[in-house]
Amino acid sequence: MNTNSDFEKQKKVDYLAWEWLPRGTGFWTWFIIAIYLWKFSGANLDRAATIGLGIGISAWIVVKILTVFIGPRIIYLNLWEYGCGCLVRTIAIELFQYFAIAFICALAIKHGDFTITTAIIFFIIGSLNWLLISFKNL
């Protein structure tokens, strides 16, 4: 009886991770593009974050359409158990996204783009914005 309950709990977690995949993909796309453009292509932080936002929103739309077409039945396939599910659950972990916001703030302080006060304000606003987007999942 306990095994069945654990199985159902795991499927619920898998389903939630599948539902959160588009948002996580959009966030990580924004993060990677913004860091790349800012640190490796020489764009200023504002421009890099804006371009990353546009590409992140595009990635969110594409992944959202894919998750709607594929549907939640993917969590019952062997593909989910052997790699796909682990990747989806990792992308959907929201705590990592707060660490990413803190990372950008620390990097901006280190390179002189932000003062400590500006970085703290940026972190608070970024975290609150992400919390409001994620609030329905709490």
Band (51; pLDDT cuts 50, 70, 90)? very high
- pLDDT, position 14: 82
Residue 138 has pLDDT above 50, yes or no: no
99 and 83 both lie in a single domain: no
- pLDDT, position 37: 93
Residue 135 has pLDDT above 50, yes or no: yes
34 and 60 both lie in a single domain: yes
68 and 118 both lie in a single domain: no
Instruction: Yes or no: say if 136 and 130 are a contact pair by the CB < 8 Å rule.
Output: no
- pLDDT, position 1: 47
Residue 137 has pLDDT above 70, yes or no: no
Q: In whole numbers, what is the pLDDT of the chain averaged over residues?
A: 83
Mean pLDDT computed over 89-102: 82
**What is the distance between the alpha carbons of residues 59 and 18, in angstroms, rounded to a whole number?**
15
Q: How many CB atoms lie within 10 A of CB 29?
A: 20
Given 92, 107, 123, which residue is the final one in a domain?
92
11 and 75 both lie in a single domain: yes
Domain range enclosing 126: 93-138
Single-letter residue type at 13: V
Instruction: Yes or no: say if 41 and 52 are a contact pair by the CB < 8 Å rule.
Output: no
88 and 131 both lie in a single domain: no
Closest CA to 23 of 57, 49, 69: 57
75 and 39 both lie in a single domain: yes
58 and 87 both lie in a single domain: yes
- The tally of domains found in the chain comes to 2
User: Residue ranges of the alpha helices (H) in the chain?
Assistant: 2-35, 45-70, 78-79, 85-92, 94-110, 116-134
84 and 98 both lie in a single domain: no
79 and 138 both lie in a single domain: no
87 and 99 both lie in a single domain: no
Residue 45 has pLDDT above 70, yes or no: yes
Band (52; pLDDT cuts 50, 70, 90)? very high
How would you label 60-85 residue by residue, b for 16+ Cβ within 10 Å and e otherwise? beebbeebeeeeeebbeeeebeeeeb
